[in-house]
Amino acid sequence: MSAKSTIERLTEVIEDVLDVEDLVLTPATTAEDVEGWDSLAHVRIVIAAEEEFGVRFTTHEVAALKSVGGVVDLIHSKL
Amino acid sequence: MSIKTLTTQHRVVEFLHRSIEEMPFYNGDLSDRIATFILRYLDECGSDLKTAFGVYERFIADFNGDIKAFTETGKYPAALKPQPDLDRASYDMVLLLSCLVSPHRYRMMSLIYEQTRASDDAVFVGCGPGLEIDLVAEKFDQAHAFDLSLGSAPQALMPNVLFYEEYFPSPRLTTGSDAIYLIELLEHLDDPLPILRDCTAFLRPGGRIYMTTATNLPQFDHLYNFAPDHSGFLTDLEAMGLIVVLNVEIPHVYQSGDIEAKNHFIVAQKDDYKDGS
């Protein structure tokens, strides 16, 4: 599975959680770059990503996430 | 009922509480007590967890905006904009849920739960929905609770507590007390010292005031910002004849900005000698 396909799937997850369309994410994108991605949206995104990719994150892993690339890397580490 | 009864009803609440389970101050019995109270409270109000969390989410979204404004201006929302229209029931839901999903609020409850000494009676000033009372009421023969705006739920859930919808001190209660709780109250006042003087006067010798302060917490209804260095405030307490026996700093962490926000949980005991002199 390529990083790009994971980003595409993650983008759809985030679009769904934030109820937005045509979101453009890169590995360098952070929560601050995306309107509506606040602390509670972050938790919803993490939970939705867990369901989408069939993985489980610890709270320490989630707290350490700084960018979309970090989320993608974390997902890959669990697949 | 237990914490699992509640968290299995809401995935986000479960996730957020999971982070608290990893904290050194986590207490399973306390989580069960808080969760049970919340579920009983929501049931009494005819509400449910999903509705309550929706209210909580909107509150946090507003708070994140207030953190940003505070970062830019150094001012609390009360000095910048009109008060939001938040009814008592909604506010109570936010207060209650935050105790299970916000580490600093949970820590505050854990300190109340662990530090309360058994005694004859206690007074809770600004009791809100009453969770703090429920956590420790069994340690007192009689608990009195004051709030300017009381819903019906606290009285229904705690029939043995005497509730007063009025200011404290009150001519209806003049017996003095062994314990007074000022939890998340002082920051809502223009000046915290007058109520502390009243409480100290009401306190019996050797009795304790359990209080919290708030620093850099731009909540819509906060008026007083305690200086990061509490030394001046602690000196004021000593001047009233209070001895500080516990002072715990409770830092906050927000994704929306590092504003060095914190609470202090302070226990101050009335000096027996000064009272008798």
Write the DSSP string, B97-138.
HHHHH-HHHHHHHHHHHHHPPPEEEEEEES-TT-HHHHHHGG
Q: Pairing between strand B140-146 and B242-251?
A: unpaired
- Asked if B129 contacts B96 with a C-beta cutoff of 8 angstroms, the reply is yes
- For residue A37, which residues of chain B lie inside 8 Å, CB to CB? none
For A21-34, the three-class secondary structure string (H helix, E strand, C coil) is: CCCCCCCCCCHHHC
Mean pLDDT of B147-157: 94
Looking at CA atoms only, how far is residue A32 from chain B in angstroms?
A: 8
Mean pLDDT of B27-36: 97
CA-nearest residue of chain A to B21?
A59
pLDDT tens-digit map of A6-43: 999 999 999 999 999 999 999 999 988 998 888 888 88
CA distance B270 to B268: 7
Query: Could you tell me if B57 lies within 8 Å of chain A, comparing CB atoms?
Result: yes
Mean pLDDT of B129-140: 97
- pLDDT over 90, % of chain A: 61
The helix/strand/coil state of B130 is coil
The letter for the amino acid at B220 is: F
Q: How far apart are the first and last CA of chain B?
A: 50
Q: With cut-offs at 50, 70 and 90, classify the pLDDT of residue B61.
A: confident
Region of residue B43 (left: phi > 0; alpha: psi -120 to 50; beta: else):
alpha
- Are residues B19 and A31, on separate chains, in Cβ contact within 8 Å? no
Query: Could you tell me if B71 lies within 8 Å of chain A, comparing CB atoms?
Result: no
Backbone angles phi, psi at A48, to 5 degrees: -65, -35
Whether the predicted pLDDT of B151 surpasses 60: yes
Mean pLDDT of B110-126: 97
- pLDDT over 90, % of chain B: 88
- Are residues A47 and B254, on separate chains, in Cβ contact within 8 Å? no
The helix/strand/coil state of B43 is helix
Best residue in A34, A35, A37, A43 to probe B by mutation, most B CBs within 10 Å?
Answer: A43
Residue B168's CB: how many other CB atoms inside 10 A? 23
Six token digits for residue B41: 């409270």
pLDDT tens-digit map of B160-194: 999 999 999 999 999 999 999 999 999 999 999 99
- Asked if B184 contacts B210 with a C-beta cutoff of 8 angstroms, the reply is no
Which of A22-31, A52-61, B257-266 shows the lowest mean pLDDT across its residues? Answer: A52-61
Burial of B211 from C-beta contacts in 10 A (0-12 / 13-18 / 19+):
buried
Of B15, B16, B255, the CB nearest to A31: B255
Q: What is the pTM of this model?
A: 0.89
pLDDT (0 to 100) of residue B276? 43
- pLDDT over 70, % of chain B: 98
Query: Could you tell me if B254 lies within 8 Å of chain A, comparing CB atoms?
Result: yes
Residue B9's CB: how many other CB atoms inside 10 A? 15
Query: Could you tell me if B23 lies within 8 Å of chain A, comparing CB atoms?
Result: no
Mean pLDDT of B152-165: 96
CA-nearest residue of chain B to A41?
B57
Six token digits for residue A8: 């595409």
CA distance B10 to B126: 29
Of B12, B61, B64, the CB nearest to A44: B12
Which residues lie across from B268 on neighbouring strands? B209, B244
Helix pair A3-18, A68-78: axis angle to 10 deg: 120
Query: Could you tell me if B245 lies within 8 Å of chain A, comparing CB atoms?
Result: no
Between CA B263 and CA B274, with CA B268 as vertex, the angle to 5 degrees is 150
